[in-house]
Amino acid sequence: MSIPKFTYLAPKTLKEALIMRASHGSKSSIMAGGTDLLIKMGLRTLQPEFVIGLNSVPEIDYITLRPGGELAIGPMAKLSAVVEDAEVEKNFPALSEAASVTATVQIRNMGTLIGNICNASPSADNATPLMIYDTKVVIIRSDGERVVPIEEFFKGPGKSVLETGELVKEFLIPIPEKSTGSNYQKVSTRSKVDIAGICVSALLTLNNDGTVSKARIALGAVAPKPIRVVKAEKILTGKTPTKELFNDAAKIAREEASPISDMRASAEYRKAMVEVLTRRALDASLAAATKKKN
């Protein structure tokens, strides 16, 4: 697979990268790990004249716990680093699991978490975990920055709120409360490293009396973009978790899904598996939350 000719630009700062992006506009593309971009270029679905690589920008490859209780992830942090990070594994197990089954070892060693999300694929493994953790996307431009909740970041297949001349500076993820459990579930056609046919993430935080103080459910690969199932979250909040309650939430998740049929799965199968995976994710989240609470 050959790649069309292009001019490679190597900015030394994010500000310089922004200037290059604004100058070349739609003729340019940003490259972090390049695992998505280079494939698109090889397939001729994207043919930028200029590729702006971030590899020479210092100090943007980080996963760090900020004093305010947020985990900050920089634009050059690799997926493999997310998998290996102790804070991610401890506080965000659904994200750790999702990153660990994203593509292959080789791809995880090159691809970045932020790059994976900026690709805006409806089936991105890491999108739904970031959604249940209430991740904030910090977007910078030459005249300032803005912060967008990650569920508002996606606009459709391959489309995000990023405008020409903007970059994602970092993800900010608040540390969950102690009595919180979360889980990631995935079904793919060939193996765990294949693109998700269906994926579900769930999070539950428990009150002292065992009722649910916070619930999050997010679905991937079953709509034009990753989605939160707010209706199901609402019926869980304030209630004592039961099998019947989880079944009701899972049925709502199934109703909210609007999948298509493609080479990975039929729409009917996807809807059925959304219900199954949601129930599994909620069960696992409750078990983890109960363990932490006790």
**Average of pLDDT values for 190-206?**
83
Cβ contact 126:100 at 8 Å = no
Helices and strands per DSSP (H, E), number in the chain:
12, 14
Q: Is 156 left (phi over 0), alpha (psi -120 to 50) or beta?
A: left
Q: How many whole angstroms separate alpha carbon 101 and alpha carbon 194?
A: 8
Q: Which residues contact 34 (CB under 8 A, 6 or more apart)?
A: 53, 110
- Say how far residue 130 (Cα) sits from the centre of its chain: 5
Would you say residue 146 has pLDDT above 70? yes
Query: What is the tens place of the pLDDT at every residue in 248-279?
Result: 999 999 999 999 998 888 999 999 999 999 99
**Average of pLDDT values for 84-107?**
95
SS3 for 7-71 is EEECCCCHHHHHHHHHHHHHHEEEECCCCCHHHHHHCCCCCCCEEEECCCCCCCCCEEECCCCEE
Q: Which residues contact 121 (CB under 8 A, 6 or more apart)?
A: 127, 157, 158, 195
Q: What is the average pLDDT value for the chain, to the nearest integer?
A: 94
Cβ contact 137:151 at 8 Å = no
Residue with structure tokens 């765990």?
Answer: 192
Q: How many whole angstroms separate alpha carbon 136 and alpha carbon 229?
A: 18
Q: How confident is the model at residue 194, as a pLDDT? A: 67
Q: How confident is the model at residue 43, as a pLDDT? A: 87
pTM of the predicted structure, to 2 decimals = 0.94
Instruction: Give the rounded percent of residues in the chain with a pLDDT score beyond 90.
Output: 84
Q: How confident is the model at residue 263, as a pLDDT? A: 83
Q: How many whole angstroms separate alpha carbon 112 and alpha carbon 75?
A: 7
Model confidence at 191, in pLDDT bands (50, 70, 90)? Answer: low
Which residue ranges form the domains of the chain, and what is each CATH number?
A: 7-53 (3.30.43.10), 63-174 (3.30.465.10), 180-293 (3.30.390.50)
Of the candidates 109, 105, 87, the residue with the CA atom closest to the CA atom of residue 96: 87
**Average of pLDDT values for 15-35?**
92
Q: How many whole angstroms separate alpha carbon 44 and alpha carbon 5?
A: 11
